[in-house]
Chain A
C-alpha cells in the first residue's frame, strides 16, 4: 500500500495542522485546574450518575465540602466487579461506593470492604436495622413497575403478571439488567406469592422470562437511561427505580408507579478495602447519615432515609411517595438478604448467560 507523495503530503499537512491547533487550544488552561485541585484533600465517591448524583451533590457533597474543606468527586456507575477489580489490582478509582445490601454482604465476605470505623461514625441516631454487618445504610430504594398513563387510557398494568400479559397490555417494554430483581419479578408474574419467594427458583424464573424476552426492547443499565427511555416514549412500561419515576412525574411526564410487587433494597455506604482516602471517607459517612442531609436527599430524590430524625425535615407530600411509607411498604415483596448474598454470583452468571442466548 505504498502511494506516491501526493496523498501522503496531503495527509501529513492535515495532521500537523489539526494537532497543533487542538493542542494550543486544549492544554493551556488545564494545567492550572489540575494544580488547584491537587492542593485540597479529595475523596472519590462511586454513584449511580444522573439525578442520583445531582441529589447527592446537593444534599451531601456540597455541604460536606463547605463544612470540612474536603472535596468530593464522583465516578459512575456503581459496579461490583469494579470494586473487586480495584481491590485486586490496587488501582483505586474511588474510595466510597453506594452498594446495595446483598452486595455489601457479599463484599464483606470476600474481603472487599472496610468495616466501619465506629469511633468516627455514630450509629446511635439511626434506625437499628440501618446498621448491618459492619456497614451502614443510607437509603431505601424501590424498584417498581412504571408505565405511561397516556398509552393506557383504560387503566395500565397493576402487577407483574399484567406486565407479562402482552395481549391485554400491548406496548414496548424494558427491564432492568439486574439479575436478582428481574428474577423476583418473573417469579411474581408466574404466580409465586410474595412471602414464598425464597429460595428463588431461578429455573422457573428464566422460563418465565423467556416468554417476555422478545417483547423487551431494552435491558437498561443506568438510571438516567431508564428515565430517557420512558420520557422519550421509547418504551411504554418498565421496571424502574421509584425516585427516578417520581422525578419524571414531577416534570410532567405522565408516568404511574405500581407499588404492588415492587422490591425495596437498602443502599449502603461501602468503603473499598485499602482505599487511599478512607480516613476522610469515615468523616464523610458520619456527615451523610445525619438527619438534615438525609432529609435533603429524600426531598430531592424520593428514597427513604435511615435516620428517624430525618422525617422531621421531609415534606409530607414527599413522605407519601417514599418506599418506606406504610401504604407503599405493605405492598412490596420483602427480600431475604442473607440468601441473596450467598447466591448472587451464581444467579448473575446464569442470568447473563440467559440474556445472551
Chain B
C-alpha cells in the first residue's frame, strides 16, 4: 500500500519530464502531444541558431566563472569559520546564509536596481558576480561540513614529521578535502546554471542565460526549440544520475 503510493508519486515526478523528450522530435509548430510526426528538424535548428547558442555559451561561461568566484570566497571563509572561535561568529554565519533567506525575486529586483547604477546590467561580469554571491550559502555549507569532518591528527602528524604549515596544507589538508570541495564547486556551478529569476532581471541581451532565453521564448511564442534544449538538459541529468548509480555500485560488488 505504502509501496504503491510511493511508486505513484515517483511516476508523478518523473513522467512530466520524460514527456518532453518525444516532443523534441516533433514536427508540430506548437506544443502538441503526442507529436503528429517525428524529425530531427528542431535539433538542427537549435545547433544552428545563434539566438539559442549564444545563451547556451553564456550559461556555461557564467556558471564556470561564478563557481570560481564562489569558491574563492567560500574556501577561506569556511576554514576561518570552522577552525576559529571569534566574536560575531553566528552573525557571520547568518551573513553567509543570507542569500538563501532572501527570496530570489527580491534579490533579482535588488540587483536590477543596484547594478543599473554600476552599469553592470546586461553584462557578463554583472551576472557572474550576482550568481557567485548567490551560490555562497550552498558551497559554504558543503565545504564547512567537509572541513568539520577532517581529522586534524593528519595535519599534526605531518607537522611533527617536520612539514611546515604551508606544506602541510597543500600536501595533506587539501588532497583530503578535495572531494568535498569538488562537490561544493559542482553545486555552485549548477546553482548558477539553473538560476532563472536573477538572470531574467539582469542578464539583458548580451549576457542572457539559457533559463532566461527559455523563459522568454515560452512567453513569446511556442518555440519548439525549447523542447530540444530541455531534452538535452534532461538527457545530461539522466545520464549523470544513472551513471553515478553504476559507479556507486561498483565498490560494493568488488570489495
Contacts and interface: CB of A to CB of B under 8 A. Distances in A.
B60 A27 contact: yes
A224 B179 contact: no
A232 B145 contact: no
Contacts of B82: none
A30 B186 contact: no
A17 B244 contact: yes
Contacts of A356: none
B244 A11 contact: yes
A22 B119 contact: no
Contacts of B204: 91, 93
A312 interface: no
A13 B246 CA distance: 10
Interface residues of B, number: 43
Contact of B182 (A6, A16, A77): A16
Nearest to A7: B248
Interface in B49-97: 50, 53-54, 56-57, 60-61, 64
Which among B30, B47, B220 has the greatest number of chain A C-beta atoms within 10 A? Answer: B220
A19 B220 contact: no
A9 interface: yes
B243 A17 contact: yes
Contact of B54 (A34, A77, A90, A222): A34
Interface in B218-233: 219-222, 232-233
B245 interface: yes
A88 B121 CA distance: 11
Interface in A1-55: 2, 6, 8-19, 21-23, 25-27, 29-31, 33-34, 37, 44, 49-50
B240 interface: yes
Nearest to A16: B186
B116 interface: yes
Main secondary structure of the interface of A (DSSP, over half): helix
B54 A10 contact: no
A94 interface: yes
Interface in B27-46: 30
B56 A19 contact: no
B19 interface: no
B53 A93 contact: no
B205 A94 contact: yes
B237 A10 contact: no
B154 interface: no
B227 to A, nearest CB: 15
A22 B243 contact: no
Contacts, number: 124
Contact of A29 (B53, B60, B179, B182): B53
A237 B123 CA distance: 43
Interface in A187-236: 221-222, 224-225, 228, 231-232
B239 interface: yes
A90 B119 contact: yes
B248 A13 contact: yes
A275 B47 CA distance: 31
A34 B57 contact: yes
A16 B121 CA distance: 30
A76 interface: yes
A14 B242 CA distance: 7
A89 interface: yes
A37 to B, nearest CB: 7
A17 B221 contact: no
Given A23-B60, A75-B205, A91-B116, A13 B240 contact: yes
Interface string B181-205: 0110011011000000000000011
B116 A15 contact: no
Nearest to B183: A12
Contacts of B166: none
A8 B244 contact: no
Nearest to A37: B50
Contacts of A25: 232
B189 A19 contact: yes
Contacts of A232: 30
B121 A91 contact: yes
B255 to A, nearest CB: 16
B244 A9 contact: yes
A77 B220 contact: yes
Contacts of B137: none
B47 to A, nearest CB: 8
A33 B220 contact: no
Contact of A2 (B145, B222, B248): B145
A30 B50 CA distance: 8
Given A22-B60, A22-B232, 17 more contacts: A6-B248, A10-B241, A12-B183, A15-B189, A15-B240, A16-B182, A17-B243, A17-B244, A19-B190, A21-B240, A27-B61, A75-B205, A90-B119, A90-B121, A222-B221, A225-B222, A228-B222
11 contacts: A10-B248, A13-B243, A15-B189, A17-B243, A19-B190, A49-B221, A89-B115, A89-B119, A91-B123, A228-B221, A232-B30
Interface of A: 2, 6, 8-19, 21-23, 25-27, 29-31, 33-34, 37, 44, 49-50, 75-77, 88-94, 221-222, 224-225, 228, 231-232
